[in-house]
Structure 1
Amino acid sequence: MADKKAGAYGAKPGGGDTDFRKTYDREEYARRAKAREEQEKIEGQARYEAKLQGKTYYRRASTPEDVKLTTARDSRLDVASRVGTVQLVQAGAQGRRRGFGFVCEACDYSCSNNHEFLEHQSSTRHLRNVGATFDVERADVSMVRERLRYLARKRKEASRPEILDLDKRLEERKVEEEKEREEKRRKRNEKRRSKKQQEEW
């Protein structure tokens, strides 16, 4: 008997000419189809309920697991510390970051003034870059009570009792004056350093 010839496309003998074709995993595709049908069923139910209420159904985009809700800023923007300071800018600052003003590290974006910077922090682009959704968490009664307790504690800590003892008041005043002198000294030294840098340039 003659030997079997190799098939077309270099297939093994006896295997036929269709061995090069892709074989599909039927169980995997059946599992995917079942999951898709379940998703369509849930979506159809939501669409039907929205129609009964007289609303239009919009399918929500998928969100990543590590996304966080939009929250209020817990700190103030420090603008006063930059008053009267000089900032050196690179000559070849490229891209959106121009190298001056208030810089957002998450977006690589700089703003020329504080109003523009605050608007940028509320923008959709910034929220998307920091990984926040545009949904705000609804507060329930327990959260409101906890917040009120926190604010009451903070107010109590801020209001210090009035000291009636003259010696203690004088000591406190001395400490405050020393701090003020130290701050003036620091500012004076900074001004001298900045003048020296400008003269070198």
Structure 2
Amino acid sequence: MAEPNNNVVGIDNTFRKKFDREEYLQRAREREEKEAEGRKSKARGPPVQRKPLKQRDYEVDLESRLGKTQVVTPIAPLSQQAGYYCSVCECVVKDSANYLDHINGKKHQRALGMSMRVERASLKQVQERFEVLKKRKDSTSITVQDFDERMLKQQQEEEERKRQRREKKKEKKKEKAAEEEPEEDADIAAMMGFGGFRTSKK
């Protein structure tokens, strides 16, 4: 009988993949270093300070092209295509509701250099605003009184005009009646045997 050979290396038939722990730890460290460098390159410096959101100082034109027709060509520049053109963002929006959403939206405001935060008003600003609104209210109450006076005056003038029209109509009727009434010739009426040419209806 043959003796077993202890020098023979056995065959690994377990079919399990063996990982080199050190190699994968090294790969993970390299990946983390690359990500950290990428984050540093993206951070260009301190964050941009944008102005707070402020009220629009121009009127939004939504009605100038209302009811007009336009020939749409695919080769026309963006500003001449159908819809509402935003020169800040260089885009065309197809209807007025979406255009309003766009110009009030975050992307457009950022392009204008504003954040979506509203500036906090101080006590002094609020008091000044109340004073302005009080003055405006006083001026509108005066205009309401003026409006009532003007309406009353206008009604009186209208009644006067109607009265004058009625008088003119009455005068015209009298003139017409006088023109239609024939002149009576007494001799002809006596010859025919009656007192006049008048009708019994009046």
TM normalised by structure 1 equals 0.42
Larger Rg: 2
Looking at both structures, which has the greater relative contact order when contacts are Cα pairs under 8 Å and sequence separation is at least 6?
Answer: 2
TM normalised by structure 2 equals 0.41
